[in-house]
Amino acid sequence: MDSTKKTAKTAGWLYLILAITGAYSIIFIPSKIIIPGDAVATANKLLANEFLFRTGIICDLISNTIFVFLVLVLYRLFKEVNINYAKLMVALVLVQIPVVFISEAFNITSLMLFKGEILKTFELSQRQDLAMLFLNINSYGTIAIGIFWGLWLLPFGLLVYKSGFIPRTFGYLLIIGGVAYIIESSVKMLLPHYGAFVSQFTFVFYTIGELSIVFWLLIKGAKIQSQNV
């Protein structure tokens, strides 16, 4: 049991780092750099904050690398609960990683276009429009990946529910959060004009679901650590 709780604490720290780096790269950076529908304004903002933009790329790569380690630690934690659910959880995470790295290649390409480092024979406006296209491809890729952010939480939630060493309430919250991710991404792709409205509600559900399990894992790990001293 001590080993299980130490593994849970490790998962909690990894999950916390994932949440921080992910929010920085997916939410904070776009809000500071990208002006939807305005390639010229976006170009000016990005070039004025190039280092900030690059930190977003690095953080996204770091967060997804951590995501791999997190799901492997969670697999170790839950494999005795249900091996099939644990394998499904791992698969639904690993399938996301290559897409993220490709999406970041689009971000790097857009930066090079804005700086005029490639396609130099193109007019400035053409390079800016093309760069904006790559940024939009990255954005839509993030929306598509959001479905998998929801899907992996479903077997994770079931494992928590069945575990016996984590309160079942957290399992329910994770499953609800997973469904919220799927709904949000689906609406953004099918009915984009309603995406922002729906996100106001879905954000609450998946944030509560994931943050609650993060802090539970951290607190339980900390308690075991203090008992062993």
Task: Find the mean pLDDT for residues 105-124.
Answer: 93
The pLDDT, as a whole number, for residue 223 is 43
Residues 156-170: tens digit of each pLDDT: 999 999 998 899 999
pLDDT at 90 over 80: yes
Query: What does the chain look like in DSSP terms, one character per residue?
Result: -HHHHHHHHHHHHHHHHHHHHHHIIIIIHHHHH--TT-HHHHHHHHHHTHHHHHHHHHHHHHHHHHHHHHHHHHHHHHTTT-HHHHHHHHHHHHTTHHHHHHHHHHHHHHHHHHHTSS-TTS-HHHHHHHHHHHHHHHHHHHHHHHHHHHHTHHHHHHHHHHHSSS-HHHHHHHHHHHHHHHHHHHHHHH-GGGHHHHHHHHHHHHHHHHHHHHHHHHHHHHHHHHHH-
The pLDDT, as a whole number, for residue 226 is 37
Residues 19-59: tens digit of each pLDDT: 999 999 999 999 999 998 899 999 999 999 999 999 999 99
- Residue among 98, 112, 131 nearest 54 (CA): 112
Residues 6+ apart with CB under 8 A from 121: none
In contact, 89 and 152? CB cutoff 8 Å: yes
Query: What pLDDT band is residue 3 in, cutting at 50, 70 and 90?
Result: confident
pLDDT at 182 over 90: yes
In contact, 60 and 25? CB cutoff 8 Å: yes
pLDDT at 110 over 50: yes
The pLDDT, as a whole number, for residue 225 is 39
Mean pLDDT computed over every residue of the chain: 92
The pLDDT, as a whole number, for residue 1 is 57
- Residue among 32, 34, 24, 35 nearest 57 (CA): 24
One-letter amino acid at 228 equals N
Domain ranges of the chain: 2-220
The pLDDT, as a whole number, for residue 224 is 40
